[in-house]
């Protein structure tokens, strides 16, 4: 298994540009989510999905859109990039359970700079 993959690894945008961060997993996980991590901070949830066709907002959703057309993919779209969106973005996936196999798997991250 490749686990959770994210592309690109690095990206520089100008203010106002839009782009899509890609996330894919090959573990057949129903649950997928996006976090951002600012320097010296913990991760904050942006959006999440409990299955194909179902998405919902996390704690910092403004300026981001998501869609979930397949179980495997969960892209994050920046509508009009702002310097405040400079951050490291992590995608995660898991089974929606609390017992064994409930751990979330994280991707390697996308480092985004908005000038």
Residues that bind another protein (CB under 8 A): 4, 31, 33, 35, 41-45, 48, 50, 56, 58-59, 88, 90, 92, 94, 96-98, 102-109
Considering the complex, state which of residue 64 and residue 90 has its C-beta at the smaller distance from another protein.
Answer: 90
First to last CA, the chain: 36
Smallest separation (angstroms) from another protein to the CB of 34: 11
Min CB(53)–another protein separation in Å: 17
Rounded to a whole number of angstroms, the minimum distance from the CB of residue 88 to another protein is 7
Smallest separation (angstroms) from another protein to the CB of 16 = 27
Shorter beta-carbon distance to another protein: residue 81 or 92: 92
Instruction: Identify which of residues 18 and 56 has a Cβ nearer to another protein in the complex.
Output: 56
DSSP structure string for 11-61: EEE-TT--EEEEEEESS--SEEEEEEE-TT--EEEEEEEEETTEEEE-SS-
Buried b (16+ CB within 10 A) or exposed e, 38-72: eeeeebeebbbbeebeebeebebbeebebbbeebb
């Amino acid at each position: 298994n490749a686990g959770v993959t994210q592309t690109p690894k690095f990206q520089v945008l100008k203010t106002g540009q839009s782009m899509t961060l890609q996330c894919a997993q090959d573990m057949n996980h129903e649950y997928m989510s996006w976090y951002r991590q600012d320097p010296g901070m913990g991760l904050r949830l942006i959006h999440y999905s409990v299955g194909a066709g179902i998405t919902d907002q996390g704690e910092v959703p403004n300026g981001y859109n998501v869609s979930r057309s397949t179980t495997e993919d969960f892209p994050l779209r920046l509508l009009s990039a702002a310097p405040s969106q400079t951050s490291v973005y992590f995608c995660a996936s898991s089974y929606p359970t609390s017992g064994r196999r409930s751990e979330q798997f994280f991707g390697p991250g996308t480092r985004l700079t908005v000038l």
